Structure 1
């Protein structure tokens, strides 16, 4: 009995079906609306959103998580079986390349898990010189909010300086150039110069960002190594 369950979980065809299922479920979620529109799914950590979301909105996400959990087990078992079956029968690069790709995938899943649990996204309006506080008791001040007006009178460029509690400049912030403070990212979304200088700041925390980067690098390296081994045949 156990051997049959193990064989099914380690099956490559199961992995393919699971990936297809995840794609279908995400497509359904993308077009179903409801949850994303009424439940602010993009404005809070996924697990926090799931706790309060009606099942009618979130069923596809729960199924996706279940499919991904089984896919993680399938990936681990496939790697174990691949190493057991090919060890000593092929060169090192051919043996290790698929496993590096598998490791990259697992890191990416782990990254999403961390962000789904501890992620944060918020937006706030700050006056010039106002301090943004953080959970550890420290803070940064958004100062020197400024912008440049184009020929039509619209702001074409805007930015601000970031200062620490002592008033020392520690960085700047502008569109597509966020400022990172500890585990938080600060993004400037808009500014107002008249009658007073105000900036709209979006704050992100992505605990899984490092794992996502590591996973992407591992997956890319493994993919390139696998292509190199196949070209060399």
Structure 2
């Protein structure tokens, strides 16, 4: 019986059904009335939101997490079975490329778990001369706020100059749209600025502890996929 359960958990068919289930739950959650009432999900770490949200609004996420946990287990068991059954019977690249993809996928899941528990996001209005405090007591100063106004009277470009203290030295960096400044693993994003009646900016302070791991996972997954396709095409 245990052997039968193990084989089902490690099967590719089970993994495909799990992926389909996650997609269905996420799709259902996107259109459910509970999702429409849960705008705060974008402003809180996922696990914090799940603790506070009613089950009527969060059921689809709980179901997705359960299926993703099974999918991670299926990925690990699938890799073990693949290595055990193909070791010494096939080429190295054919053997290892799918495992690299599996590792990348697991790293992406781990990254999202870290961010779900330890991320935070806060938007604040600052002016020139304002300071942003960090938990360790360090400060980031806003030294200048700039904006370019076009012929129609609308902003065409804007930025905020920030003063940071790194290893006892003061550095000056500029945050622009889609070009954040990173300090102590925290991203400082300038979202908007106002020129009149006085210069002010909306700064988003955003921490994603799993960002680096997610990037590594995505690179490994892509690498494994490219190698596998290249080897199969070369046959």
TM-score range with shorter-chain normalisation?
A: over 0.9
- Alignment partners' CA distance in 1, 2:206 and 2:146: 22
Q: CA deviation at 1:36?
A: 5.1
Q: CA deviation at 1:155?
A: 1.3
Q: Counterparts of 1:60-75 in structure 2 under 5 Å?
A: 60-75=60-75
**Residue 159 of structure 1: aligned partner:** 159
Stretch moving more, 193-202 or 79-88: 193-202
**Residue 140 of structure 2: aligned partner:** 140
**Residue 2 of structure 2: aligned partner:** 2
Q: CA deviation at 1:212?
A: 0.4
Q: CA deviation at 1:154?
A: 1.2
Q: CA deviation at 1:33?
A: 4.4
**Residue 214 of structure 2: aligned partner:** 212
**Residue 86 of structure 1: aligned partner:** 86
> Could you tell me which of 186, 189, 204 is aligned with 1:187?
189
In structure 2, relative to structure 1, the CA distance for the partners of 1:69 and 1:38 (3 Å cut) is closer
How many residue pairs match? The answer is 233
What is the TM-score normalised by the length of structure 1? 0.96
In structure 2, relative to structure 1, the CA distance for the partners of 1:49 and 1:36 (3 Å cut) is farther
Structure 2 counterpart SS, 1:207: coil
Q: CA deviation at 1:34?
A: 2.9
- Alignment partners' CA distance in 2, 1:136 and 1:36: 37
Structure 1 counterpart SS, 2:151: coil
- Alignment partners' CA distance in 2, 1:34 and 1:68: 21
8 Å contact 2:188–2:204 — kept in the other structure? yes
What is the TM-score normalised by the length of structure 2? 0.95
In structure 2, relative to structure 1, the CA distance for the partners of 1:163 and 1:89 (3 Å cut) is same
Q: Structure 1 stretches (4+) deviating beyond 6 angstroms? A: none
Unaligned ranges ≥5, structure 2? none
Cα-to-partner distance string for 1:175-211 (whole Å, 9 max, x where unaligned): 1111111111011111112222111011110000011
8 Å contact 2:101–2:223 — kept in the other structure? yes
Q: Is 1:222 aligned to residue 224 of structure 2? A: yes
In structure 2, relative to structure 1, the CA distance for the partners of 1:61 and 1:225 (3 Å cut) is same
8 Å contact 2:37–2:57 — kept in the other structure? no
In structure 2, relative to structure 1, the CA distance for the partners of 1:89 and 1:167 (3 Å cut) is closer
Q: CA deviation at 1:83?
A: 0.2
**Residue 118 of structure 2: aligned partner:** 118
> Could you tell me which of 170, 176, 179 is aligned with 2:178?
176
Q: CA deviation at 1:31?
A: 1.4
Structure 2 counterpart SS, 1:106: helix
Q: CA deviation at 1:82?
A: 0.2
Q: CA deviation at 1:170?
A: 2.5
Structure 1 counterpart SS, 2:191: strand
8 Å contact 1:131–1:140 — kept in the other structure? yes
